[in-house]
Amino acid sequence: MMNEKALCSERMAIKMGYTLPLEQIPLNDYAQLLRRQNLLPGRRMLLDQLDERFALFASFGIANLVQLSAALATPVKLASLAAKANIPEEYLVILRRELGSLAQKPVPLSDFPGCDEVQVRQLASVGIRNSRDYWEQCRKPEEALSALCDLVRINGVGAVAARAFYEAGFSS
């Protein structure tokens, strides 16, 4: 089950599932996003020669974030791209980490504090074991579990923090 949400972009609307569809995000859009966001101090180096470096990636046939992630996926691939593009490996390591923050990892339903254990077992018996499974297959906006599964999609929010946000009145 997919939900329509728009990514902040002047050029495109993206059909979004549990995580951002990285294959639909062009390099130029990601460069704009990096420019606009408040990067952590250790990641601000990503702004150094951003346009030139992303133009190099494009010249190597890298068009979107899935392709960029694949080019940085292993130490060997990362070192090869660094040598080919004459970009410091440290820069590419930081870029890989920043890209990794876009893909949310599913949280086991049993990790959410205060969830009904019987419901969690029933869901597991039909193959729904984590936040991604629940969010994509049986999300019901009125249920607390739906809110918890939505909240853990936020970068840095885990099961306990999601429960705290939910108890404070936040559901999405």
Going residue by residue through the chain, which has 172 residues, state the pLDDT in tens, using 9 for 90 and above. 233 233 233 334 445 678 888 999 999 999 999 999 999 999 999 999 999 999 999 999 999 999 999 999 999 999 999 999 999 999 999 999 999 988 888 999 999 999 989 999 999 999 999 999 998 888 777 789 999 999 999 888 999 999 999 999 998 8
Q: How far is CA 149 from CA 84, 104, 141, in A?
A: 41, 11, 10
- Six-digit token pair at 39? 């990067």
Q: How far is CA 37 from the centre of its chain?
A: 15
Q: What are phi and psi of 32, to 5 degrees?
A: -60, -40
Place of tokens 């569809």: 21
Place of tokens 């009904």: 116
- Six-digit token pair at 101? 């923050």
Place of tokens 């440290």: 90
Place of tokens 């980490």: 97
Q: Do residues 18 and 132 make contact, with C-beta atoms less than 8 angstroms apart?
A: yes
What is the identity of the amino acid at 141?
P
Q: How far is CA 91 from CA 40, 102, 131, in A?
A: 14, 17, 32
Say how far apart CA 105 and CA 152 lie, in whole Å.
9
Place of tokens 């101090």: 41
Place of tokens 């729904």: 128
